[in-house]
Every structure is written in C-alpha cells, then in structure tokens.
Amino acid sequence: MNAVQYDKKLRLQLFIILCCSAIFVNIFGDYFTRFLLSEIIILSLFAMSLDFLAGRGGMISLGHAMFLGIGAYSTAILFINFNIDPFLCSLLAVVIGLIIGYLIGFIIVKTDGIFFIMITLALGEMFHSWAYTNDFLGGSDGISGILRPKLLGMDLNEPLFFSYYLLILLILVYAFLAAVTDSPLGRNLDAIRQNSGRVLSLGGSVKLYKSASFGISAAIASLAGSLYAQLNGFVSPEISHWTVSGEGLIMIIVGGIGSLSGAILGAVVVHIIQHEFSKLVDWWMLLMGGGFILVVLFLKEGLWGLILKFKNYIIENK
C-alpha cells in the first residue's frame, strides 16, 4: 500500500486548523459536543497510531483495537485493583502497550502484506474473545468505576478541562510522530516500505525497525485506550472488537494513509458521519462499507489527496 505524497508544511497547516477548530468547539460547545469532541480526539490518537504503522511501516493492521483494549484494561486494573493515580495509570498503559506491542511485533513483522493483515485480525479477535470470557477482566460486563486524573489542581471530570487535556496529549503525540517520521528511523521505515530487500542488503536491521514502529504504534493505541476508559468511566470487551479496528482503518484510508494529520481529519469525518447516520437510519454500516469501497476505488489518496490538489490548484492560479 503506497503512502500519500509527502508534504511537511501542509501536514502542519492542516493540524493547526484542526486544533483551532477543536478549541473553538470546546469553548462554545455544550456537554454533548464536548463529549463528542473528546471521543473524536481519542479516535484521532488511535487513527494516528494506525497511520504511522501503515504509512511509515507499510503494515496494515486489522487487529489494532487489541491495543486499545490493552490500554483500557490495564488502566482499569491498575486503578481499581492497585489504586494507582489515574494519570500514572495512563503512563503505565503506554509502557505496557509499548512492551507488548514490541514483543508481538517482533514475532509477526517477518510476515508482510496480506499475511500481516490475516495475523493481526486473528490476534485482535482472540484478544476480544479472551477479554469476553475472562472473569478477572469482568467478562462481557467489563470493568466500571474508572476515574479521570486530577492534574495541577484541575479536576478533569469537568468535560471542558478533559477535552483540553486530550487536546494537549494529541499535540504531544502529533509532535512525537511527526518527529519520528522525519527522523532517521522514519527514513529507514520509508526505505523498508519501498524495498525491504535492499535495506537488508545495505545492512539495515529491517526486523528491528519494523518491530520498533509496531511498538510505538501499539503504545499510542494503548494511550488512546486508556483515555477512552477514563472518558467513559468503564471498559468493556467491545473496545477491542474487529469493527473498531476496521473503523480505524477506514479513518486512515478516508484521510489518506501516511499523512498523519489526514488521519485526524479522517477520524473527524468518519466519526461524525457515523454518529449522525446511526441516529437517522439503522443501516449506516451498509453506507459506511459502500462509502469505504468507493474511497478505496476512486480516491486513492483520500481527503489528503483532495486537499493537496486544492492547494496546488490555488498556487497555480495565483
């Protein structure tokens, strides 16, 4: 799968526009829009983790919701059973996601393309049914009673503050992923995606780079899972269902794979469409599947490609 045309400046511009509109919505919104905004920011984090994996690492994972689940469940267990501070829980969830992601990555990155899709899908579904039947994880009921952190004297149970908290995390993750993309690791990943055999023969450790990127991506997905658990106050196995992984994939394909801020745009568009359509009709999955197929067929670079074309059009006509 090819990543989109690379444009650092446009990436930042789009990200700033998205952040500004998030702040705007947060200031003027009510309780429900703020909740929706929080959901979208968390999904954006998830979409960015997938985008990094697919766009840089060239690995399309259909089981990434597993790491959402790992993050959410570890936050829940650390908070409920060990009484650890919620903020620390999120940090630990990131570390747990990183370690598990790296270990799983180490085993599965030797496969690629379709094999990778098949294995990640299988792993994700297994995690889901394991969480579903495990008594310690609360079975199908999940775990409830997760609280949000208190930071710098601010109680994040207040939706306005929590959205800002999420937005700050989003900016940090964006800055981190953008830096990794432009770092030697990112360049190596680009090279591996284009021709892994050549990187190998030049002495690059393909496996190490790939599992590192899988670990990074898993850590960010795990952070998103942890925040999702804190947003809702509970976690259920549904969070790691294949449809969630699938929605993440739809988001990055609609946004444009490898564009990072395009993934956020994809998350915004897909989640709002889903949110609004599921209110109106009960066959929104049909619409989503159909729309997704059309994007795959006709809009190869997603919304990012459209924006890029629009930008070039303006420059030419100036």
Partner 1 sequence: MFITEILNALQFSMTLFLLSVGLTIVFGLMKIVNLAHGTLYMLGAYIGLSIWTFSDSFWLAFVFAPIATAILGALLYKVLFKFIQRVDPMRQVLLTFGLIYIGLDSVRLIWGSMSHSITTPELFSNPINIFGETYPTYRLFVILVGITVLLILYFVLEKTKMGAMVRASVDDHETSQMLGINTEKILFYTFSLGCGLAGLAGVTVAPIVGVEAGMDMEVLVLTLIVVVVGGPGSLKGALIGSLLIGFVDTFGKVFFPELALITIYAAMALILIFKPGGMYSRL
Q: Which stretch binds partner 1 (CB under 8 A): 39-47, 152-160, 224-232, 279-287?
A: 279-287
**Angstrom distance (rounded) from CA 2 to CA 295:** 15
- C-beta closer to partner 1: residue 70 or 146: 70
Q: Which stretch binds partner 1 (CB under 8 A): 3-11, 79-87, 111-119, 164-172?
A: 111-119
Under the binding rule (CB under 8 A), the answer on residue 122 touching partner 1 is yes
- C-beta closer to partner 1: residue 205 or 312: 205
22, 37, 62, 218: which one contacts partner 1 (CB under 8 A)? 62
End-to-end CA distance of the chain: 34
The dihedrals phi and psi of 67, each to the nearest 5 degrees, come to -75, -30
In the shown chain, the binding pattern of residues 206 to 245 toward partner 1, with x for contact by CB under 8 A and - for none, equals ------------------------------------x---
Q: Which stretch binds partner 1 (CB under 8 A): 22-30, 128-136, 147-155, 168-176?
A: 128-136
223, 229, 249, 307: which one contacts partner 1 (CB under 8 A)? 249
Q: Is the dihedral of CA 159, 276, 250, 178 positive or negative?
A: negative
Under the binding rule (CB under 8 A), the answer on residue 6 touching partner 1 is no
Q: Strand (E) positions, 27-178? A: 143-144, 150-151, 154-155
Which residues sit opposite 151 in a β-bridge? 154
**Angstrom distance (rounded) from CA 112 to CA 225:** 26
Which residues sit opposite 144 in a β-bridge? 234
Q: Are 230 and 240 in contact (CB under 8 A)?
A: no
- Whose CA is closest to 246, among 129, 137, 125, 139? 125
**Angstrom distance (rounded) from CA 158 to CA 237:** 26
Under the binding rule (CB under 8 A), the answer on residue 168 touching partner 1 is no
Residue appearing with tokens 């919620």: 86
In the shown chain, the binding pattern of residues 284 to 313 toward partner 1, with x for contact by CB under 8 A and - for none, equals xxx-xxx-xx--xx----------------
Under the binding rule (CB under 8 A), the answer on residue 196 touching partner 1 is no
Q: Which stretch binds partner 1 (CB under 8 A): 26-34, 126-134, 191-199, 303-311?
A: 126-134
Which residues sit opposite 234 in a β-bridge? 144
Shortest separation between residue 117's beta carbon and partner 1, angstroms: 6
CA distances from 228 to 43, 149, 196, 197, 220 (A): 9, 13, 36, 39, 12
Under the binding rule (CB under 8 A), the answer on residue 280 touching partner 1 is no
Interacting residue ranges for partner 1, rule: CB under 8 A: 1-2, 60, 62, 107-108, 110-111, 113-115, 117-119, 121-123, 125-126, 129-130, 133-134, 242, 246, 249, 253, 283-286, 288-290, 292-293, 296-297
